[in-house]
Amino acid sequence: MAELDVFLQSFGSLSLFGALLVLLLVLFIFSSSFGSEKPRNEPPGPTPLPLIGNLLQIDMWNRHKSLQKFYKKYGSVFTIYMGPKKMVVLAGYKTVKEALVNYADEFGERHPALTVRNSKKDHGVLWSNGDSWKEMRRFSLINLRDYGMGKKACEDKIIEESFYLSEELKKFKGEPCDPSQLLTNAVSNIISSMVYGSRFDYEDPEFIALIDRMSRSIKLMATPSMQFYNVLPAIGKWFSGAQKEFQKLQVLLREYNLKVFRQLRETLNPHMCRGFVDAFFVRQQQQLKESGVIDRHYNDANLEETVKHLFGAGTETTATTLRWILLFMIKYPKIQDQIQEEISRVVGSRKLQYEDRNNLPFTNAVIHETQRLANVFPMSVPHRTSKDVTFQGYFIEKGTVVIPLLGSVLYDETEWEKPHSFHPAHFLDKDGKFVKRDAFMPFSAGRRVCLGEGLARMELFLFFTTLLQNFRLTPPPGVSEDDLDLTPQLLPPLSPQPYKLCIVPRT
C-alpha cells in the first residue's frame, strides 16, 4: 500500500514528516494562498502554517476526532486549512441543520476531491453540481423508485436476498465466522437488482472482483496519502501509490460496467425495463426519436458514473451498519432477547414485511440507535458554498469547502441523553412507543441528503429482523461480551474491528 500511509502510521504525531514539510514550505511560502488578504470575520480556527495549514494538528488517520476537538475549542463554525486548502467545518445539531436545511442552496454544492476532478467530476450524482447533478439525481430517484426503492418489489427482493444470506450463514453450522463478506454480498445484490436488473451468485468471480474493487476504492479514497494528494498534489504525487492503485481500480470497474452495458443494450426490450440501466437507454432512445438528439445529460459518461456512485455509496455504508448491529447483538444479549421476544410476539414465524416496523418499536429503536452510535460517515461527503454567505455572523466566501461534521450531531451532548452509549431508549417514549429524533442525521439533510435513504432503511430493517427471527447470535466460545471491542476502525466508512460470532439457527 501507499508508502506515505505506512510512513504516516509509523510517525503518528507527524513530527518528522512535519519537520520535512516545514523545510519545504520555505520554498513555497510566497506562492501559497496565505499571501492573499483574508476576508474579515471569517470563522475562527487553529492558526495555520503556510502551505501545510493545520496538517500538523490533525490526525490524518482520525480526522473526525481532531475536528471534534477543534469544535470544543472554536465553536460550531470554524475554519481549518488542509494544506493550503481552506475548509469550514459545521458542528453540532443546530448549526448543521441550519446550514444544510435553512441555507440549502448556499451550502448545497459538492466539492469533488482532486482524485475525482482528474476524471469525471461533472458526471454522475455524487460529485457533480448544477443541471447535470439535478437531472441525474431526479432520474435516479424516480427510477430507483420504479425499480423497487420504497416499494413492494424492493421489499420482495430484500426478503428473497435475506433467504440466500440465511442459507449461506447456515453453512457455518454455528461455528465462529466473520459475516462481513456475506453481508456485503447481500447488500450489493440489492443495488445490482435495481441497477442491472439481476443479482449475482455469491461465488461468481466477477461479483467478488466487483465488490472487492469497489470496497478497496472507497478505502483508498479515505487514506491519508490520498487526502494528502488531494490538498497538496505537488508533493503528494511523489507518494502516489494509493492514487495509482485507485486509478487502476477505476479502469477495471469501468471495463466491467461497459461490458455489462453492452450486454444489456443488446437484449433491451423498451417495454420491459429490467432496471435503472435499461431505463437510461430507453430515455436516450426516446429523446433521439423525438428530437433527433440525445439530451445532453443522458450521455454514456453520466450513465457510467451514476451506476458507479449508486454501487459505491449504496454498498459499504449499509453493509457496515449491518456489521455494527450484529456486533451490538452479541455485545448486548439482553437487547437481542428483547428484540426476539418482540418479533415472536408481533410477527411470529411468518415472513417479516417492512410495514411491521410500525409494530416493532423496540426493534426499530435498536436499528436507529445503531446508526447513531456507529456514526458510519462522521464527516459526511464534502460540500461547497455556491455563493458568498454570511452564516451565524461569519463570512464564508463562494467556493469554500464545507465539512458537515455529522458525528458531532449524532453525539451532540445537548440532544442525546447518553450520547456515547448504546441506548435504544433514545428512540422510545415512556410508553415504549417509537419516537423520531430530529438530531438523527446519519443520512445528512438538505439538498444533498443521501439519495438511497429509503432503500437503506428498508434493507437494514428487513435483513436485520429476518436474521434475528431465524438465528441466535453469540460471541465465539471463550469470548465474553466484555471482550468485544466497540472501537471503530480508522478511516470512514467507520466499521467495527474484525470480529467473529456464532450464528445458531433458532428452533
Q: Which of 452, 475, 492, 496 binds ligand HEM (CB under 6 A)?
A: 452
Number of residues this chain uses to bind ligand HEM (CB under 6 A): 26
Rounded to a whole number, what is the largest CA-CA distance in the chain? Answer: 72
- Tell me the three-class secondary structure of 330-383, residue by residue: HHCHHHHHHHHHHHHHHCCCCCCCHHHHHHCHHHHHHHHHHHHHHCCCCCCCCE
**Close Cβ partners of 122 (under 8 Å, ≥ 6 residues apart):** 128, 129, 130, 132
CA distance 174 to 499: 15
Query: Can residue 80 be called a binding residue for ligand HEM (CB under 6 A)?
Result: no
Which listed range, 24-32, 254-262, 380-388, 480-488, lies at the site for ligand HEM (CB under 6 A)?
A: 380-388
Window 95-154: residues binding ligand HEM (CB under 6 A): 110, 125-126, 137
Place of cell 496519502: 225
Long-range CB pairs of 210-214 (<8 Å, 24+ gap) are 210/253, 210/256, 210/311, 211/184, 211/185, 211/315, 213/249, 213/252, 213/253, 214/188, 214/253, 214/311, 214/312, 214/315, 214/316
CA distance 248 to 229: 16
Which listed range, 209-217, 246-254, 327-335, 445-453, lies at the site for ligand HEM (CB under 6 A)?
A: 445-453
Residue among 306 and 474 whose Cβ is closer to ligand HEM: 306
Query: Can residue 448 be called a binding residue for ligand HEM (CB under 6 A)?
Result: yes
Window 38-57: residues binding ligand HEM (CB under 6 A): none
Residue among 140 and 466 whose Cβ is closer to ligand HEM: 140
Residue among 154 and 339 whose Cβ is closer to ligand HEM: 154
Residue among 53 and 442 whose Cβ is closer to ligand HEM: 442
| In the complex, minimum distance from the CB of residue 10 to ligand HEM, in angstroms, rounded to a whole number | 31
**81 three-class SS:** strand
Window 317-336: residues binding ligand HEM (CB under 6 A): 317-318, 321
Residue among 4 and 158 whose Cβ is closer to ligand HEM: 158
Residue among 236 and 314 whose Cβ is closer to ligand HEM: 314
Which listed range, 272-280, 386-394, 410-418, 442-450, lies at the site for ligand HEM (CB under 6 A)?
A: 442-450
The reply, when asked if residue 177 is annotated as ligand binding, is: no
**Close Cβ partners of 244 (under 8 Å, ≥ 6 residues apart):** none
**170 three-class SS:** helix
Which listed range, 51-59, 170-178, 269-277, 447-455, lies at the site for ligand HEM (CB under 6 A)?
A: 447-455
Say how far residue 241 (Cα) sits from the centre of its chain. Answer: 24
Query: Can residue 373 be called a binding residue for ligand HEM (CB under 6 A)?
Result: no
Which listed range, 79-87, 232-240, 379-387, 499-507, lies at the site for ligand HEM (CB under 6 A)?
A: 379-387
Query: Can residue 443 be called a binding residue for ligand HEM (CB under 6 A)?
Result: yes
- Please provide the DSSP assignment of 191-243 as one string: HHHHHTS----TT-HHHHHHHHHHHHHHHHHHSHHHHHHHH-HHHHGGGTHHH
Binding-site annotation, residues for heme: 450
Query: Binding residues for ligand HEM, per CB under 6 A?
Result: 110, 125-126, 137, 309-310, 313-314, 317-318, 321, 376-377, 380-381, 383, 442-444, 448-452, 455-456
